[in-house]
Amino acid sequence: MAIEKTLSLTVNGQPRTVTTDPGRPLLEVLREDLGLTGTKYACGEGRCGACTVLLGGKAVRSCITPVADAEGKAVVTIEGLAAGDKLHPVQEAFLAEGAVQCGYCAPGMILGVVGLLNEKPNPTDAEVLSRMEGHICRCCGYPKLLRAIRRAVQAGGR
Amino acid sequence: MKGAVGSRQSGTERALSRREFVRVLGAGLLVSVGAGPALAGERRPRGGGRGGTIAARVHIGQDGAITVLTGKIEMGQGARAELTQAAAEELRVPASRITMVMGDTALVPDDGLTAGSRTTPSTVPAVRQGAAAAREALVRLACQRWGVEPGAVEARDGAITHAATKRTLTYAELAASDELPKAFDQAVPGGITLTAVKEWKVLGTSLPRPNVRDLVTGAHKFPSDLVRPGMLYGKVLRPPSYGARLGAVDLAPAKAMKDVVAVREGDFVGVAAPTSLLARRALAAIAETATWQPAPHPSSQEVFDYLRQRAGGGVPANPFADEVAKAAKALRATYRVPYVQHAPMETRVALAEWADGKLTVWTGTQNPFGYHRELAGAFGLGNDQVRVIVPDFGCGFGGKHTGEAAIEAARLARAAGKPVKLHWTREEEFTWAYFRPAAVIDIEASLDAKGALTSWHFININSGGAAVDTPYRAGKANCRFVRSDTPLRQGSYRTLAATANNFARECFMDELAAAAGADPLDFRLAHLDNPRLRAVLEEAAKRFRWRERVKEKRPDAGIGLACGTEKGSVVAACAEIALDRAKGTIAVRQVTEVFECGAILNPDNLLSQVQGCIVMGLGPALREEMRFEKGEMLNPRFRQYLVPRFSDVPELDIHLLDRPDLPSAGGGETPIIAIAPAIGNAVFHATGQRIRAMPIRLAESGGS
């Protein structure tokens, strides 16, 4: 049994401490300890993007990120993206294009786009496609997702 | 660590008491009449509203809140929006006034499985009848109060208005009376006139999914997101291979861990712990001690011979041997379609809780009442001792009809004395869920000297009878499905065997067209009587410019077309592909698809379904297949089992043919059946290579 550690991190702007095995996936700490279930499990190997969160502003796969990697850093989950009732422009773009079918992949997709725009405010279409290739939508709603993502990119994430 | 935050609940997640149900439904006094008995388990309406009371389907609160109840579920296919539209249309209210309660076996009528594209043709009419009956009851009550004839009043925007005297009674005001509960406790009468298509105000519009905002904010609680006070996380010991039987196992290493529960009941072994991590560790400790007796199992290479050898009653011979003998030309071929997985984004999950001998399970299933019965049977419980609650969940595609995860969670919860959530891993889903059946399909057909079909013999071994019959005029036809002995669990998948049968038939039609020296489009039209199918085929060919493009010959590119009919709808697709011979890959560049399913209820949602079908269909057409050997899955992960991604999406030209004169059929399945054969025929066009298997592979890379 690994030794537990007390770790401090900032989640959606709030300082949080967790006492846990430092190797535990960030995904499970968010969902099981912090009650933030908007971040989804779907593959457990970083291949589908459903568990995407922002860590220090960058999109990461929380299912393969040890919670220790988040120590002292800022984590943003889907629950922390809107400002009160005002949705983030990427969320707005998803609504505007009707890009959601079952919606299970949506939080990860949205944070994937936000993470891309944080790194590259004006990505080319090829960069968008290359980044989003890491996200799976099994409803295969890609045509409308792509419209939503392009709309968000054109708006510059603003 | 187990955070206290994890046990917080919102009101709708908890098992509703009757008082709470009243609150949820908006202080509606009707609740005490309609839902009361159902909540007490004394009476549960059955049969999709037929024979059910109005109150079993519709509640109106004194605050005017309208709640509509259905046994259908939402998994991304759009039932929540469509059924909301159905109720709003007949109740003459905006869709925003309706709250749908779906898939809670304690509250809703049994509308059957959410499968087979049945929501549109069956449940939409049932909800409309219930809502129309509610509206007529409201009209009658208002008329009684005013002493006027029903013909003199109008129901509009949530109120009954008597124009002559400018009097109005809102639904809320009528719901405050003593008479409405009595009126709503009547059976929904037969023969209610539903609103004509040309009068539709809500149906036929693109209402977005009512809870879509919660899906982009993360607020929606999928079944896997739910938490109950004191809840543990479960894990189940799986055999190392298909058919392996458990010998000895020692639970002690798990039981020695703090806060861990371990249980064995026959071959079932599982653990539950306060975190998933601890549960995994406890299971690993047990697994090290387990001994297994393996069983023989065919490999995915051998499985087609295996299925043929075990065809029930043998593989039927062609009864038209005489036609074949005298034919100008005759062809025969065998097609193979492998097992594929639904791979829903949200894997199987169930949260089970026992209280006072009653079992409540929150889960994602297309079959809430089937689960209900399965759980009652598994645990020897009465019908009223089980409750299944299905929050909107993450994908089904026909893959979530069976209750194994719920039974496993309930066993663990019973042993633990606490609620247990069991969320299957991706690898478990890829191994222990059921699969789309593999198919072996034999076809033989004969042509006369003019190139007309004179006989058609079509045998599907193992995968199913959906769309097994040919839509083409074929002289004599013998189309049959023959069962076999599947070595893997198999079951429904989006449009069942229609995909395999249509793939084989439509690829074979191209071979026959070539044998007859005819263009694939002309050959089909020459044998096609179904006017709806002809219409979509001709429209797709026109939009794709088939007749011009088929004459163009470009290296390493090809076009193909296919059509088909199933579940009351018709589809045709044309595809352009490009080959990369060095890599041995096929890229689908462009797809034109025309789909017609009668009167369209929600155009945007239908477009999503058609887009989803086409792109999902690319997976099994080009890449997807379960590979297994010695009872072990060789590719049970997304990095090995390659589902479609953004880069696979071709240029899409989708045309939805609206037929307001025809009854509405479901649109979430049939659009998938034309894509694989259109690609196969495009490869045939480009290379001359006959395509006889899915996934479609170029001969150079060792395919068919």
For residue B628, list its beta bridge partners: B633
On the question of pLDDT at B29 being above 80, the answer is no
Structure tokens at A69: 């990697």
Higher pLDDT, A55 or B178: A55
On the question of pLDDT at B237 being above 60, the answer is yes
Position B6 confidence tier, pLDDT thresholds 50, 70, 90: very low
For chain B, positions 608-627, list CB contacts with chain A under 8 A: 608, 611-616
Give the gap in angstroms from C-alpha A21 to the nearest C-alpha of chain B: 8
The secondary structure of residue B238, as a DSSP letter, is P
Higher pLDDT, A53 or B15: A53
Give the gap in angstroms from C-alpha B333 to the nearest C-alpha of chain A: 32
Are residues B536 and B572 in contact, defined by beta-carbon separation less than 8 angstroms? yes
Out of A100, A133, A141, whose CB is closest to B647?
A133
On the question of pLDDT at B340 being above 60, the answer is yes
Give the gap in angstroms from C-alpha A10 to the nearest C-alpha of chain B: 16
pLDDT digits (tens, 9 = 90+) for B392-451: 999 999 999 999 999 999 999 999 999 999 999 999 999 999 999 999 999 999 999 999
Structure tokens at B681: 């025929």
Q: B309 — contact with chain A (CB < 8 Å)? A: no
Q: Which of B626, B600, B636, B645 minimizes the C-alpha distance to B695?
A: B626
In sequence order, which ranges of chain A are alpha helices (DSSP H)? 26-28, 89-96, 106-119, 125-132, 142-154
Q: B132 — contact with chain A (CB < 8 Å)? A: no
pLDDT digits (tens, 9 = 90+) for B367-380: 999 999 999 999 99
Q: B6 — contact with chain A (CB < 8 Å)? A: yes
Give the gap in angstroms from C-alpha A34 to the nearest C-alpha of chain B: 6
Position B5 confidence tier, pLDDT thresholds 50, 70, 90: very low
Residues of B in contact with A24 (CB under 8 A): 275, 277
Out of B276, B393, B639, whose CB is closest to A28?
B276
On the question of pLDDT at B703 being above 70, the answer is no
Single-letter residue type at A76: V
What is the structure's pLDDT at A61? 98
Out of A33, A94, A136, whose CB is closest to B3?
A33
On the question of pLDDT at B9 being above 50, the answer is no
Contact assignment for B275 to A32 by CB distance below 8 Å:
yes
The secondary structure of residue B662, as a DSSP letter, is S
On the question of pLDDT at B640 being above 60, the answer is yes
Residues of A in contact with B394 (CB under 8 A): 40, 102-105
For chain B, positions 173-212, list CB contacts with chain A under 8 A: 206, 208-209, 212
Give the gap in angstroms from C-alpha B223 to the nearest C-alpha of chain A: 11
Give the gap in angstroms from C-alpha B613 to the nearest C-alpha of chain A: 8
Residues of A in contact with B342 (CB under 8 A): 138
What is the structure's pLDDT at A156? 78
pLDDT digits (tens, 9 = 90+) for B517-573: 999 999 999 999 999 999 999 999 999 999 999 999 888 999 999 999 999 999 999
Give the gap in angstroms from C-alpha A59 to the nearest C-alpha of chain B: 17
Q: Rounded CA gap, B574 and B563, in Å?
A: 9
Residues of A in contact with B362 (CB under 8 A): none
Find where tokens 């070595």 sit.
B487
Give the gap in angstroms from C-alpha B283 to the nearest C-alpha of chain A: 13
Contact assignment for B209 to A100 by CB distance below 8 Å:
yes
For chain B, positions 537-596, list CB contacts with chain A under 8 A: none
Position B700 confidence tier, pLDDT thresholds 50, 70, 90: low
Out of B1, B225, B611, whose CB is closest to A37?
B225
Burial (0-12, 13-18, 19+ Cβ within 10 Å), B191 = exposed
CA distances from B20 to A106, B9, B26 (A): 31, 14, 10
Residues of B in contact with A21 (CB under 8 A): 277
Phi-psi region of B338 (alpha: psi -120 to 50; beta: other; left: phi over 0): beta
Secondary structure, 3-state, B173-224: HHHCCCHHHHHHCCECCCCCCCCCHHHCCCCCCCCCCCCHHHHHHCCCCCHH
Measured distance between the N- and C-terminal CA atoms of chain B, rounded to whole angstroms: 54
On the question of pLDDT at B609 being above 50, the answer is yes
For chain B, positions 382-411, list CB contacts with chain A under 8 A: 392-395, 397
What is the structure's pLDDT at B553? 83
Using CA coordinates, name the residue in chain B closest to A128: B646
pLDDT digits (tens, 9 = 90+) for A92-125: 999 999 999 999 999 999 999 999 999 999 999 9
Q: Rounded CA gap, B368 and B673, in Å?
A: 27
Single-letter residue type at A124: T
Q: Which of A111, A114, A31, A40 minimizes the C-alpha distance to A78?
A: A111
Q: Rounded CA gap, B206 and B270, in Å?
A: 46
pLDDT digits (tens, 9 = 90+) for B173-216: 999 999 999 999 999 998 899 999 999 999 999 999 999 999 99
The separation between CA B464 and the C-alpha centre of its own chain, rounded to angstroms, equals 16
On the question of pLDDT at B25 being above 80, the answer is no
Q: Rounded CA gap, B204 and B142, in Å?
A: 29
Select from B217, B592, B624 the residue whose CB has the most chain A CBs within 10 Å, as the one to mutate to test that interface: B217
Angle formed by the axes of helices A125-132 and A142-154, to 10°? 130
Give the gap in angstroms from C-alpha B42 to the nearest C-alpha of chain A: 34
Contact assignment for B612 to A37 by CB distance below 8 Å:
no
What is the structure's pLDDT at A158? 65
Residues of B in contact with A104 (CB under 8 A): 76, 222, 345-346, 393-395
Contact assignment for B212 to A142 by CB distance below 8 Å:
no
For chain B, positions 21-50, list CB contacts with chain A under 8 A: none
Structure tokens at A27: 């995904």
Q: B275 — contact with chain A (CB < 8 Å)? A: yes
Position B39 confidence tier, pLDDT thresholds 50, 70, 90: very low
For chain B, positions 64-83, list CB contacts with chain A under 8 A: 75-78
What is the structure's pLDDT at B699? 87
What is the structure's pLDDT at A157? 63
Select from B114, B207, B216 the residue whose CB has the most chain A CBs within 10 Å, as the one to mutate to test that interface: B216
In sign, the C-alpha dihedral spanning B202, B207, B211, B217 is negative
pLDDT digits (tens, 9 = 90+) for A113-158: 999 999 999 999 999 999 999 999 999 999 999 999 999 999 876 6
Q: Write b or e for each residue in B3-38: b if 16 or more Cβ atoms lie within 10 A of its Cβ, otherwise e.
A: beebeeeeeebeebeeeebbebbbebbbbebbbbbb
Position B385 confidence tier, pLDDT thresholds 50, 70, 90: very high
On the question of pLDDT at B11 being above 70, the answer is no
Residues of B in contact with A61 (CB under 8 A): none
On the question of pLDDT at B36 being above 50, the answer is no
Helix, strand or coil for residue B352? Answer: strand
Q: Which residues contact A71 (CB under 8 A, 6 or more apart)?
A: A7, A8, A9, A22
Are residues B390 and B364 in contact, defined by beta-carbon separation less than 8 angstroms? yes
Q: B258 — contact with chain A (CB < 8 Å)? A: no
Q: Which residues contact B575 (CB under 8 A, 6 or more apart)?
A: B559, B560, B561, B588, B590, B591, B592, B650, B675, B678, B679, B681, B682
Position B278 confidence tier, pLDDT thresholds 50, 70, 90: very high
Q: B277 — contact with chain A (CB < 8 Å)? A: yes
pTM, whole model, 2 decimals?
A: 0.94
Give the gap in angstroms from C-alpha B368 to the nearest C-alpha of chain A: 18
Give the gap in angstroms from C-alpha A55 to the nearest C-alpha of chain B: 18
Structure tokens at A93: 């773009």
Q: Which of A34, A36, A38 minimizes the C-alpha distance to A108?
A: A38
Q: Of all residues in chain B, what percent carry a pLDDT higher than 90? A: 90
The secondary structure of residue B155, as a DSSP letter, is E
Using CA coordinates, name the residue in chain A closest to B274: A32
Among B38-52, B172-186, B504-518, B608-622, the range scoring the smallest mean pLDDT is B38-52
Structure tokens at B249: 């196992």
CA distances from A114 to A128, A155, B275, B522, B615 (A): 11, 12, 30, 50, 25
Average pLDDT along chain B: 92
Residues of B in contact with A95 (CB under 8 A): 208, 212-213, 216
Q: What is the CA radius of gyration of chain A?
A: 15
**Interface size between A and B, measured as CB pairs under 8 A:** 189
Give the gap in angstroms from C-alpha A121 to the nearest C-alpha of chain B: 21
On the question of pLDDT at B38 being above 80, the answer is no
How much is the average pLDDT of B313-322?
97
Helix, strand or coil for residue B226? Answer: coil
Find where tokens 């410019």 sit.
B545
Contact assignment for A42 to B426 by CB distance below 8 Å:
yes
What is the structure's pLDDT at A1? 54
Are residues B543 and B594 in contact, defined by beta-carbon separation less than 8 angstroms? yes
Select from B646, B647, B648 the residue whose CB has the most chain A CBs within 10 Å, as the one to mutate to test that interface: B646
Q: Rounded CA gap, B212 and B549, in Å?
A: 41
What is the structure's pLDDT at B33? 26
pLDDT digits (tens, 9 = 90+) for B575-587: 999 999 999 999 9
